[in-house]
Structure 1
């Protein structure tokens, strides 16, 4: 365990108007029903003012808001109606828990609750991209970053929408119990190990959805040749179009340029090799089409936010044996 006693008690706030997905997601990650988890595991407490309405569900929390003050970590799920101020009792409880020393994390639009409590003033934060502008406009003292998975500011953490909320929960597990346990939880939930979204943008440029589009055959072709020197002209020739038309299709399908997409996929390939092999950085640089270790380190640091060696130590896949890190 990397944080000893910190994080042993996790309280999840529940009140009318919260999003059921984020609340149940937190309970799934920090619950105690998996035999393979280490001891001591978290003590989970769902806390609310009484029976609460979460969308189509009526939930009766097992504890009152007074239990929030006893938590080592407080999770605030998404707040459904961001145009409406969250309940004063919830805001006061969140503020008091943080003042006492609790680590406070919001999932999705739960950031609006943290902002109302003043916890985000002078800090970086994120929320669902569709509501990032509203958060920034309503709380100008907050530095809103709309294009990251989550932001870790130490005692205050915020995440983007639903899938990123899971990333943040797994990040908290990694902080408390290490990468092996976080990867165990990820495997149980049938999701990939999460990427660190606090230091840099870990959202890789996506592949276009499968379908009848001009890049449907080009993308797999390029992915199989990342170790080879590829230029925009090479891609355009393979796609049977001009470089200008290729750039237009790439912008529409992936939101970026062909070269930027290619570089992102090469860094992504380097991440996978760092996680799953013992290859040197030089070998990985060649396999990912980045040439030299120096080039790999430069692009990796700029894209991922940490050097390749540090990334490998943190995100090493567990399946290589019981003592693998």
Structure 2
């Protein structure tokens, strides 16, 4: 396993990490979760990602029970939670100081840990001043309940506002952002955040590296097959890929598959490795419903070295639907 620093912090995260969105508490229950987490740990994965909003907290319950049953050494793994969607009542949603604090305490109970390594603001909250949220996160850090706090799907302007408030008031700034990043979703990670990687040392824990399974190629012959697009409650995802834009992405996936075939690797390995080619990606969060799927995804790690500038150019030419140009990662 390869390990990378989380931004400018001293925390080392495995290049691949294990997420729980859509899986834990929905497709994956205790016995399977134990097998999956132990397998991940044995493969060198040291970061397990979760959120209060995943299956209304049940995802954290399953993960917490599994980790406790396995007896993993606390100094060898990192676990996260995210705060925003905690319930239907007025103070069970958003990023108020009350909800940020209550959600942290609830996550600690569900995950059965004394502190969260990473704690994310799951979305920006237009109804709460950013200063209030920054202070709430700082207080949790000074209390030893959180080690690093960050954001998810915030804009660069919102992230920098949080940093400015933290500097002005001697508070702890955010360390990381969790954006969506894959071959089809690139703007934030590659363009919008370009200046703040070096400016404040932003780390990234990216999600959906396979575009909800589309970049596995499983939907290349049609979207009515078993997979995330057809899970109950995710009809919006299926509708998105049934649209004209979604069908264009599937067509590009077919073309990407030919590049992977020429490399002699599976398309999903190439897609995962492509994410890791970006040096500003701290860790790629894998979503898996089966242990064998997790093992297979981690096997993509050696493919990173196979993605030469020439191959990256070919990939970019397909994705951008234009004559290929070198990626120039060093300029990011």
Same fold (TM over 0.5): no
State the TM-score, normalized to the length of structure 2. 0.31
Query: Which one has more relative contact order, counting CA pairs under 8 Å at least 6 apart?
Result: 2
State the TM-score, normalized to the length of structure 1. 0.31
**Larger Cα-atom Rg:** 1
